[in-house]
A and B are shown apart, each in its own frame.
Chain A
Amino acid sequence: MTPLGELARLIRSKNAGPFELTFDIMFEDSATYERVKQSGMVNREAVASRYGLPADKVKFFWCDPACAIKASIPRPYIQGDLLDSDGHGGQQYAPLMDIQIP
C-alpha cells in the first residue's frame, strides 16, 4: 500500500468560484494514474467520506489526457464569508493524501 500523496505529482485544492471547492490529483505518468484508477480506492464515495459529505454533493471526474483526477464540493462557507477560513481554498486537500493505494 502507498499513500496517494506519494503517488501523485501534485494534489491541490482551489476555489472554483466563491461557492465551490475543487481538488486536482495529478500524476506524472499514465502508469501511476492507471494504477490509482484501477485500484478502486479513489472515487466519489471516498472523497465524500473524507469531507463528511453525502456522495451526491461531490462531482468526480477521471481526466485521462491530463493523467489527473478531479473532484469538486460545495464550500462549507462562501469564500471570504465571516466564518470562512481559507479564502483561496488552497489548504483543503490534506485529507486526500493518505488514501491508501494497493
Chain B
Amino acid sequence: MTSSASEEVRVLAPNGVLGSGFLEESFEKGLAQKPHFIGCDAGSTDPGPSHLGSGEPAFPREAVRRDLRLMLLGARRLKIPLIIGSTGTAGGDPHLAWGYEILKEIAVAENLQFKVALIHSEQGKAYLKKRLAEGRIKPLDPAPEFNEKVIERSSHIVGMMGAEPFQRALQAGADVILAGRASDTAIFASFAELHGIPSGIAWHAAKILECGAAAVVNRKSPDCMFAWLRKDHFVVEPPNPEYHCTPQSVASHSLYENSDPYKLVECSGTLDLTNSRYEALNDRSVRVTGSTFAPAARYTVKLEGAELAGYQSIVIGSVRDPFIIRQIDDWTTRLIERLHARVKQVYGDRMKPDQYVLNIRIYGKNGTMGPLEPVKEIRSHELCLLIEVTAPSQEIASSIAGIARHQGLHLPIPEWSGLITALACPYNPAHLDRGAVYRFNVNHIVEPDDAYEMFPTEYFAIDGATQRKLPQ
C-alpha cells in the first residue's frame, strides 16, 4: 500500500452478487479510477435454505465464471487484491470448493499467477457442541431451539465471518481471497480498516458497496459502484454515466434488507447511522459524513445452519365450481383428513402422521400471505390449490401425492349427488417430485476466543495450471 492510500482508499464493487452481471464498460471505467482493491459479495440467505443444506449454489456456474474472470483479470492487471465473500451463495465447504474450481479454471485459461487465500467458514459439529456446552452459543431474537440434536441433524452450519480473517489474509499477502460465509460488509470494511480508514466510514461505505449499483436512483440492471474512503468521509459514484446517486438514494440504501435502518450489528461492533449526513458533491456523487462505529464488548459470530426437512412432492390443481369455492376451507380440511386415513390404510404403522407433513395452499384466498392475510372474504371465481406432501423419502412423498391427486379429484360436497371431479390438473403426471427440501435451523451467535478460530485459512500459489499449497 502506498502512502497516498492511507489518506484515501479507493474501492471498485463490480456488482451486488457474483454471477448477477455488470457492464464491462462500467468495470473498465472503475478500473481507470485506480482502485486499491476490488470486492464482491457472492452470497446471501435470501435464495433460501436449500442452498446451504444441499451444498448447491444459487447462481449458474457460467454466470459466476463470466463475472469472476473479468474481476480476476482486472485485479491482476492493476496488481490489486480481489476479495470475494460468501462464495457459492452459502459459504459452506462445498460452496467454497465450487468457487475455487472456477477460479482455477480461469487461472489455467488465462495463464495467471497469484496467491490465493481460501477462508473456510463451515463449522465442525464437535466445536459447536463444545461451545454450546460452555454456554457460549446464544440466541438472537427470534430464534428456533438450538441444541446438540439440531447440531447433529444439520447438513451444514457456517459462521458469518467479520473483517479480521480477511485482514489476516491480506497481511499474509493474498492477491485473491475466496471466503466462505462472510458479513457482506466485512468484505469491504476489512481492507479499509487495515489501511487506517476509521471504522464508521469503512463500515458505512461497505454497506453501500456490497450491493454494487443498488444505491443509485434507478438501477435498471446490476452494475458497478465506486467509492473513495477518507479520514472523515466517503464519496460514492457509479462508474456507469447513465446512473447517478443522490443523498436520498444513498440514505435509502441503508434500509435495504435490514430490520433496523440506523444500527447494523457486525461481529466486532455496531455501525451507527443516526448522525450520518448525505450531501450531493455534484449531480452524480454523494459525500457521507458522521457515521460511527461502536466496538462490541464481546466479539460474536452469527451462525447459519440448514437441515433436511424431508422429500417433497406436490400436486397443482384448480377449482372453478362456486359450490366448492364457497366451502373451500371445509373441503380442504376434509381432504387432509381423508389423506391421513388413506395413508394409514396403505402404510399401517410404517408411516405415522408425525412422520410426514400435508399442506394445502389456496391461491386466490391466502396463498401469498398465509396467516398475515387480512382479507378473509374470497371474491375469486377460481382458486388454485397447491397440495404438498413432505415425507422421509421421495418414494413415500410421491406415493402420498398420488393418493392426494385421486382423493382430491373425487372428494364430494353436499350440493352434488354422484361422483364429482373437483380438481383441474394442468400437468401429467399430476404430481411433481421436488426432491430434498431443507430448513434454516439456527439464529444464534457464538462467542469465540478470537476472531479467527472459526475461520481456518489455506494459502495456495497459483501459476497457470499448477497449484502449490503454502505454509500457513
Which residues of A pack against B, CB within 8 Å? 14-20, 22, 24, 26, 50-52, 59, 61, 63, 65-68, 70, 72, 74, 76-88, 91-92, 94-95
Contact = CB atoms under 8 A, between A and B. Distances in A.
Nearest to B312: A82
B304 to A, nearest CB: 8
B374 A50 contact: yes
B345 to A, nearest CB: 24
Interface stretch (B102-110, B226-234, B364-372): B364-372
B370 A85 contact: yes
A86 B105 CA distance: 37
Contacts, number: 121
A85 B45 contact: no
B47 to A, nearest CB: 8
A68 B439 contact: no
Contacts of B254: 63, 66
- A-side binding surface: helix, strand, loop or mixed? loop
Interface stretch (B92-100, B235-243, B255-263): B255-263
9 contacts: A15-B45, A19-B142, A19-B443, A26-B255, A66-B261, A68-B261, A76-B371, A79-B49, A85-B368
A22 B369 contact: no
Contact of A15 (B142, B247, B257): B257
Nearest to B45: A18
Contacts of B309: 81-82
Interface of B: 45-50, 140, 142-144, 247-248, 251-252, 254-262, 276-278, 304, 309, 357, 359, 361, 367-372, 374, 388, 390, 437-440, 443
A86 B258 CA distance: 17
B439 A81 contact: yes
A24 B251 CA distance: 13
Contacts of A65: 247-248, 251, 276-278
B443 A70 contact: no
Contact of B359 (A67, A83, A87): A83
Contacts of B251: 63, 65-66, 68
8 interchain residue pairs of minimum CB distance: A65-B251, A72-B259, A66-B251, A16-B259, A80-B48, A66-B252, A80-B49, A18-B440
Given A20-B142, A63-B254, 18 more contacts: A18-B304, A18-B440, A22-B258, A50-B374, A52-B372, A61-B261, A63-B251, A63-B252, A65-B247, A68-B255, A68-B261, A70-B261, A72-B259, A78-B439, A79-B440, A81-B309, A81-B439, A87-B48
A61 B276 contact: no
B248 A67 contact: yes
Contacts of A14: 256-257
A50 B251 CA distance: 27
B252 A91 contact: no
A22 B264 CA distance: 14
B257 to A, nearest CB: 6
B255 A59 contact: no
Contact of B443 (A17, A82, A87): A17
A92 to B, nearest CB: 6
B359 A82 contact: yes
B46 A81 contact: no
Given A68-B252, A68-B255, A88 B46 contact: yes
Contacts of B370: 76-77, 83-85
Nearest to B309: A82
B335 to A, nearest CB: 17
A66 B304 CA distance: 31
Contact of A76 (B259, B278, B372): B372
A68 B259 CA distance: 14
B182 to A, nearest CB: 15
Contacts of B143: 19
Nearest to B306: A80
A52 B371 CA distance: 9
A46 to B, nearest CB: 12
